Structure 1
Amino acid sequence: MGVKSKAAAAILVLLLFLGSLWLHGGLDYHWDSCFKGYNQVNKLHQLYNSSGGDGAEGLQVLEGCPGQNFQVSLLLSHLLAVPAYSSDVLMLPYLSSWDELVRFMEALGPMVGLISKEIETKTSIIRQLAALAGESPEAELAPDINSINIVSTEAGTKNDPEASQHTGAYHSVRSMIVAEMTQGVVDFQQQTDSGCRTLLRLHRALLWLKLFLEKLAETPVSGRLRSPSELCREAYQNTLSQHHTWFVRRAAELAFIALPERGFFFRLVCVQDQEELSLVLNRVVQAIGEVYDRTQNALEENGMLDLP
């Protein structure tokens, strides 16, 4: 076998490891490792241009982008459906947002696609937990008079009183936290297959993608636009790398080298130039930020930011 063949084989092995270890310490600390998709029928989604101070300078329409799996219009629709009450996060559109983000990552090529498989594993865990709890995987959960009250003080939570009555255990982030705390499935000392632990790993990955898209949307006043590979690596170094081993960090950097150039992202989001890309991505980043902040607050209030 030639030197080039050996090098290619070595890279492939590293990337296969990456697929299972990608969020080691993030989505998953170990080697080991239903709701169905939230259906969105509208192919058009109105959004406000978030480039101005008040985020509402003009109205745009995002249309479905033909001939590709990833649809930024659907991603934004799911993200905007996630916030509930004044501080909660609905689980169904949250997971559907991840479904679309997985398609986004898969569109970037097979190397990054390996990373998305680990995220799919995590969303499947929460969907399976919901199914085991007897909650409908086909549609958003209806109120359940026998379900847990999510302002339970016995679980030691500080939850939104507006969301306090009659929702399924996996209806939202806060209801899931209370249900799993009450059932004793969340362990603060060792790993358990809880929805809360799984959510934390997804939460950390969401920050990485948020920062990457935010950087991709930047338009420098002067100088060149940096490559997506460079931006993704920088976003990773500021987020997920802090939870990863040296081996996983090196493997991740190999995957980022293979990211397509900026023109590919224009086509992926169906825009013509950087200015249009910035308008669309800034709105997506804003929506992700709202979801992230609400999830962060719920986890922090319950001491879950460092679950093993």
Structure 2
Amino acid sequence: MGVKSKAAAAILVLLLFLGSLWLHGGLDYQWDSCLKGYNQVNKLHQLYNSSGADGAEGSQVLEGCPGQTFQVSLLLSHLLAAQADTSDVLLQPYLSSWDELVRFMEALGPMVGLISKEIETKTSVIRQLALLAGESPEAELAPDVNSINSVSTEADSKTNPYHSVRSMILVELSQGLVDFNQQTDSGCRTLLRLHRALLWLKLFLEKVAETPVSGRLRSPSELCREAYQSTLANYHTWLVRRAAEVAFIAVPERGFFFRLVCVQNQEELSVLLNRVVQATGEVYDRTQKALEENGMLDLP
């Protein structure tokens, strides 16, 4: 067997092993991270108000991308629906956001797609808890952002204990489901693992959206690795960190991302991804605050 063949075989074995860690060890202490939705037509209604000074960008209608399984328009709609409450995060559209992010990771290829299987396991845990608590996971996953009451009532929380991040935290604390000293299968602990992964993806997309004033555009593979090193790597063992370096080699070049979201150049990609990053950041910040207020940022 030649040197190249041996190297290829070694990488394949390593990736299979990494996949096993993700699937059996999970996002918990192996790979917290790295990486369904409802049926919609391609053209969506108004999704997002840009932070731009004139707000012109926010008035644009975002269209679907024909031929792609991952739809950035759906991701945005889920993220916005999750923010319908003024300070909380609604869990059903939050989980639907992850459904679309799973499709995003799978679109990057089978090596990166290995990560998505563990994400699906985590979202399934929360959905199952919601089902057992009496809230059907088949309920509308992301209602129209314009038709949701902006304030969750106390009655809503009692009827749907897994209606939102804060209602889930409240019910699990009151029922003694959260253990601050050892691992459990609580929704709060599962949410924390997804929360950490969301920061990694947010930072990765933010870096891909950057347009340098001068110099070359760095490869998505390099940016993915850099985002990981400043986020999830802090929670992983040496072995998982080394394996992650191998997995990131498979991240496609920048032109792939143009095609994935139906844009023509870096300028258009930056505009679109910045909208995603801002929406993701709002969901992340609200979740971060809820977890921090209840001392849950370091759940084992």
Give the TM-score range, shorter chain. Answer: 0.7 to 0.9
| Unaligned residue ranges in structure 1 (runs of 5+) | 32-36, 142-159
1:21-32 correspondence runs (5 A)? 21-22=21-22, 27-29=27-29
1:52 maps to: 52
Matched residue of 1:62: which SS? Answer: coil
Q: 1:259 to 1:287 in 2, by over 3 A?
A: same
C-alpha contact (below 8 Å) 1:38/1:139 kept by paired residues: no
Using structure 2 for the length normalisation, give the TM-score. 0.88
Matched positions, count: 285
**What displacement does 1:13 show?**
2.3
In the alignment, residue 235 of structure 2 is paired with which amino acid? H
2:129 is equivalent to residue 137 of structure 1: no
C-alpha contact (below 8 Å) 1:102/1:116 kept by paired residues: yes
1:150 maps to: none
**CA distance in structure 1 between the aligned counterparts of 2:192 and 2:56, rounded to whole angstroms:** 32
**What displacement does 1:283 show?**
0.3
In the alignment, residue 298 of structure 1 is paired with which amino acid? A
Give the alignment partner of residue 247 of structure 2, picking from 242, 250, 255: 255
1:296 maps to: 288
Q: 1:20 to 1:203 in 2, by over 3 A?
A: farther
Q: 1:164 to 1:49 in 2, by over 3 A?
A: closer
Using structure 1 for the length normalisation, give the TM-score. 0.86
**What displacement does 1:84 show?**
3.5
1:155-209 C-alpha deviation (Å, 9 max, x unpaired): xxxxx98543333111111111111111111100000011100000000000000
C-alpha contact (below 8 Å) 1:89/1:291 kept by paired residues: yes
1:27-57 C-alpha deviation (Å, 9 max, x unpaired): 21269xxxxx342525323355747346545
2:154 is equivalent to residue 164 of structure 1: yes
C-alpha contact (below 8 Å) 1:89/1:295 kept by paired residues: yes
* Identity within the alignment, %: 82
**What displacement does 1:67 show?**
1.3
2:263 is equivalent to residue 264 of structure 1: no
**CA distance in structure 2 between the aligned counterparts of 1:229 and 1:65, rounded to whole angstroms:** 23
**CA distance in structure 1 between the aligned counterparts of 2:239 and 2:55, rounded to whole angstroms:** 41
**CA distance in structure 1 between the aligned counterparts of 2:256 and 2:128, rounded to whole angstroms:** 35
1:201-216 correspondence runs (5 A)? 201-216=193-208
2:70 maps to: 70
2:217 maps to: 225
C-alpha contact (below 8 Å) 1:49/1:60 kept by paired residues: no
1:197 maps to: 189
Matched residue of 2:29: which SS? Answer: coil
Matched residue of 1:61: which SS? Answer: coil
**CA distance in structure 2 between the aligned counterparts of 1:279 and 1:7, rounded to whole angstroms:** 39
RMSD: 2.4
**CA distance in structure 1 between the aligned counterparts of 2:90 and 2:122, rounded to whole angstroms:** 17
**CA distance in structure 1 between the aligned counterparts of 2:84 and 2:168, rounded to whole angstroms:** 14
**CA distance in structure 1 between the aligned counterparts of 2:47 and 2:186, rounded to whole angstroms:** 35
In the alignment, residue 224 of structure 1 is paired with which amino acid? R
**CA distance in structure 2 between the aligned counterparts of 1:169 and 1:282, rounded to whole angstroms:** 33
In the alignment, residue 178 of structure 1 is paired with which amino acid? L
- Could you say which structure has the higher helix fraction? 2
**CA distance in structure 1 between the aligned counterparts of 2:30 and 2:73, rounded to whole angstroms:** 35
C-alpha contact (below 8 Å) 1:18/1:115 kept by paired residues: no
